[in-house]
Amino acid sequence: MKRHWLGGLLLGVCIALLLSGGVALAQGLFITADKHCVDCYPVEGFPTEERYLIELTYGGFATDRPLCCRLWIDGELAFDDCWSSLPTDPFSERGYALCEWPEYVPRTTLGLGGEVNVDYAQAGGVGHWVYRLYQQSDAGGEDWADVTYLVAEDCAAAMFVPEPGSILLLGSGLMGLAGYAGLRWRTRE
């Protein structure tokens, strides 16, 4: 019995990693971005090129409770707001990021050249943007979802590889289970 303590420990850690990774993937609230990197718009006004626009899609929320969002740029809180009236679930918004903080940022629907519409213009500048949705859950806790993307002056020159923590947890759990199976296989012989 003493020689199987390592296998039991490994099995316990693997199950914990799998459960925590599965819980992270199973939450209902979600936010996605159509790009991993978006070029910031260098001047005030309205961009007319697609490379400056990003589309965020929100879903999995309860329409009877306020939906809130926070934006961090390079770890610094830049935006915190709640919507009390929500459109249908899911919904999408197209917007752009300005390279610098202007004095005025329009937040209404803006017409771009008569063909492209955006819903917001976000000041903040270049850097790693983390956009978080959160809402009170039915159980009394808080549901939340994050999306991370890079705002750069030139995305072609910037290299950005997202690494979601939930995938890392699931991968670690599966690797641990493979190691546990290998230990069990060797002790049989």
pLDDT digits (tens, 9 = 90+) for 134-185: 888 767 778 889 999 988 888 877 754 556 777 778 788 889 989 888 888 8
Residues of the chain with pLDDT under 50: 1, 23-26, 107-114, 160
Give dist(CA 184, CA 17) in Å, integer.
20
In Å, how far are 49, 108, 142 from 40, measured between CA atoms? 11, 19, 32
In-domain check, residue 185: no
In-domain check, residue 82: yes
User: Containing domain of residue 145, as a range?
Assistant: 29-162
User: Tokens for 170?
Assistant: 């699931």
Look at residue 112 in the predicted model and tell me its pLDDT. Answer: 47
In-domain check, residue 13: no
Look at residue 130 in the predicted model and tell me its pLDDT. Answer: 92
What is the tally of structural domains in the chain?
1
Look at residue 17 in the predicted model and tell me its pLDDT. Answer: 59
185: helix, coil or strand?
helix
In-domain check, residue 49: yes
Look at residue 186 in the predicted model and tell me its pLDDT. Answer: 85
45: helix, coil or strand?
coil
With beta carbons less than 8 A apart as the criterion, state whether 39 and 153 touch.
Answer: yes
In-domain check, residue 83: yes
Q: Which CATH number belongs to the domain containing residue 67 in this structure?
A: 2.60.40
In-domain check, residue 78: yes
- DSSP 8-state code for residue 98: B
pTM over 0.95: no
In-domain check, residue 134: yes
In-domain check, residue 16: no
75: left (phi over 0), alpha (psi -120 to 50) or beta: left
User: Tokens for 104?
Assistant: 């005025």
Q: How far is CA 93 from the centre of its chain?
A: 15
Q: How far is CA 44 from the centre of its chain?
A: 27
